[in-house]
Structure 1
Amino acid sequence: MNIGPEPAATAGRLKLAMTALTRRLRKDWPDELTPSRVTALATVAAGEPLAVGELAKRMGVSTPTVSHIVDALDKQGLIARLPDPHDRRICRLATSDAGAEVLEELSRRTTGILADRIHQLPPAQQSALEAALPALEALAAAPE
């Protein structure tokens, strides 16, 4: 039973709010760190070293697109290309120390910005936001 507002109206409002928040969080990023580069870097940092094709699959983009992103990250010194232990034709991507530092700094900044914004909300809205987190997390984790 659906007792709340229309899902389409809720989705529209959520999309606008997410877009505005995302834009605000990215405002202070260095120009060379595009959203796709940060996504690639964070994806590589999240686990074992990845082949370019695996990274493309996880990002939902083509291999040539990821190759351009990886080249840019490599030039910035944010990733390392490692030989694959089983196939010499493949290189695996890992986050460099500089890349890990960049991700940590971006995380610190964005968390700080959000924490400041949340702190400015009235207590009732802070509680409502906290209560909505499980639903937002479920939306984010849902299969595509």
Structure 2
Amino acid sequence: MSRQDPTRGASRAIGSALYGLATRAVRRLPRDMSITSAATLATLDTTGPRRITDLAVHEGVTQPAMTVLVRVMEESGLVERRGDASDKRVTLVCLTEAGAAYVRTRRRAGVDAFARLIDELDDDEVEALVAALPALAHLAELETRDREGPKR
């Protein structure tokens, strides 16, 4: 039976479990900003400064919507706009120290919430999760590549 065989069902079962965990995790986070704003800050933390158009594509929103979102986050002191040293026509959105601190705090809260739940699992279940870590990391890489689409 091949991995692509739809009767196997493992891909859908795993996908359902991961999706359920992700949606419950998002619901538990503080609602002090939109999911798109928090995701944009996390993207800037991970990838560094980016153009508004690149952020819009990465986060799956329109360029005008990202422009408004960046303006709000800029007014809150979480991001700033800077010129690109390699191309003076380009403006990059950069994370400020306050923005980076926000991302670290939010990420730590999410990790701590899952760690508390994982601490309630039995040893075999924890070992299974540990064994799955490389696959989960690869899955995250594939998702990022898929979301960003083909390179131009």
TM-score range, shorter chain: 0.7 to 0.9
Is the contact made by 2:79 and 2:96 (CA closer than 8 Å) also made in structure 1? yes
Q: 1:8 to 1:140 in 2, by over 3 A?
A: farther
SS in 1 for 2:81: strand
Aligned to 1:137: 137
Shift of 1:8: 6.1
Which is worse superposed, 20-29 or 111-120? 20-29
Is the contact made by 2:29 and 2:110 (CA closer than 8 Å) also made in structure 1? no
Q: 1:9 to 1:34 in 2, by over 3 A?
A: farther
SS in 1 for 2:103: helix
- Written as runs of structure 1 = structure 2, the 5 A alignment for 1:88-127 is 88-127=88-127
Shift of 1:77: 1.9
- Written as runs of structure 1 = structure 2, the 5 A alignment for 1:65-84 is 65-84=65-84
Instruction: Kindly tell me the number of residue pairs found equivalent between the two proteins.
Output: 143
Aligned to 2:18: 18
Distance 2:7 2:130 in 1: 20
Shift of 1:110: 0.6
Q: Which amino acid aligns with 1:12?
A: R
Shift of 1:2: 4.4
Runs of 4+ in 1 over 4 A off after TM superposition: 5-8, 86-89
Q: For each residue in 1:75-131, what CA deviation from the matched residue of structure 2 results, as whole angstroms up to 9, or x when unmatched?
A: 322111112335444321111121111101111101101111111111101101111
Distance 2:75 2:8 in 1: 43
Q: 1:48 to 1:141 in 2, by over 3 A?
A: closer
Q: Which amino acid aligns with 1:121?
A: L
SS in 1 for 2:33: coil
Which is worse superposed, 108-117 or 70-79? 70-79
Unmatched segments (≥5 aa) in structure 1: none
Sequence identity (%): 27
Shift of 1:140: 2.0
Unmatched segments (≥5 aa) in structure 2: 147-152
Q: Which amino acid aligns with 2:56?
A: A
Aligned to 1:55: 55
Which is worse superposed, 67-76 or 35-44? 67-76
Distance 2:123 2:86 in 1: 55
Distance 1:96 1:7 in 2: 49
TM-score by length of 1: 0.81
